[in-house]
Amino acid sequence: MKNKSEHENYPVLDKLQHVVFYVNDLEVSQRFYEMIFDVQCSATAHPDSSAAMRLVGNTMKFYSFGHYQHDICLVQNPKVVVDNEQWNHYSLKLANGIRLDEIKRRLEKLRIPYFEGRMLPIFSNEQEKVIHFKDPNGHVIEVVE
């Protein structure tokens, strides 16, 4: 990495604006994210909706966590294979006032297994409550209270 003085006029990143995930079944994934996180579909793109979609031939659904027009995008791809044996995951922080117990209750109702604590205990904070679970496609999700 170059020293900071060489980059003083460069913009600094603020937030991760959105992520895109391939999913096997868009409808199953949509129900999962809506039931667990109360996200709302903010837009849909399908092969007929834009030149980009016609090129890739995929259907997309965009979901908002309330920050941007879309915070997460799910793209239909029945051939997707998720490498969930690694530490690949994404982490979501619950909004103020939302308890991790509520997410656990929803997971238990759907019989979705989860485990508590950080993937790497060396990064653990004793006051922090964290769980991990997989979405229907095998993507590992970390949720932090």
Domains of the chain: 19-144 (3.10.180.10)
| Predicted TM-score of the model (pTM) | 0.78
Cβ atoms < 10 Å from Cβ of 74 = 25
Q: pLDDT tens string for the chain (145 positions)?
A: 455 556 666 677 777 788 888 899 999 999 999 999 998 888 777 656 666 566 556 688 888 887 777 788 898 888 878 776 666 788 899 988 899 999 999 999 999 999 998 776 656 566 779 999 999 998 999 999 9
Tokens encoding 82: 């998720």
